[in-house]
Amino acid sequence: MKKLNTSSLFIIFTAIFYCCSGQDKGSKNFIESVEERLLDVDENRQKVGEIIDQRVSEVKPNLPYDFKNGIIFQDVINEYDINQVFIYSVSDEGVDIVLNYISKNQLIQDSKAADAYKLAVKHGINSVYRYYHDNELLKEIRIEPQDY
């Protein structure tokens, strides 16, 4: 049997508490159903993590990538098996571009134009874009699958 995380245990204990107030066969089936669903979520998250890991391994050999506008694509990481995180370093020259021209809507449009969003939508992957200037977070944009 797989280990359950803290939130999983909370849900199970809540279900047990709820079910104990009405001792019938439905209570046992409900608990088993909740446990099965939690295990399915855990398995799905692992699969999503593997997909993100594969994308990361495909992109990393091409990094760093200098856009020649003060923005350098430095890294891509898998965060918590649900977020693909794109990390950029921004020079003084690129700060204006990041603050005034890079937006969630713009990133969504760019992703749609390149069909880059399809895998994220299909597997429920969040895309997070982090822009750092002088080692401090300048801007973060989070795009969830339903945003497309």
Position 125 pLDDT exceeds 90: yes
Both tokens of 33, joined, read 């159903």
- Other residues' Cβ atoms within 10 Å of the Cβ of residue 94: 22
Tens digit of pLDDT for each residue in 66-101?
999 999 999 999 999 999 999 999 999 999 999 999
Is 0.95 surpassed by the pTM of this model? no
Position 120 pLDDT exceeds 70: yes
Max CA separation in the chain (angstroms): 68
The predicted structure's pLDDT at residue 32: 62
Q: How far apart are CA 14 and CA 8, in angstroms?
A: 10
Start-end of H helices in the chain: 6-20, 25-59, 92-100, 104-113, 118-123
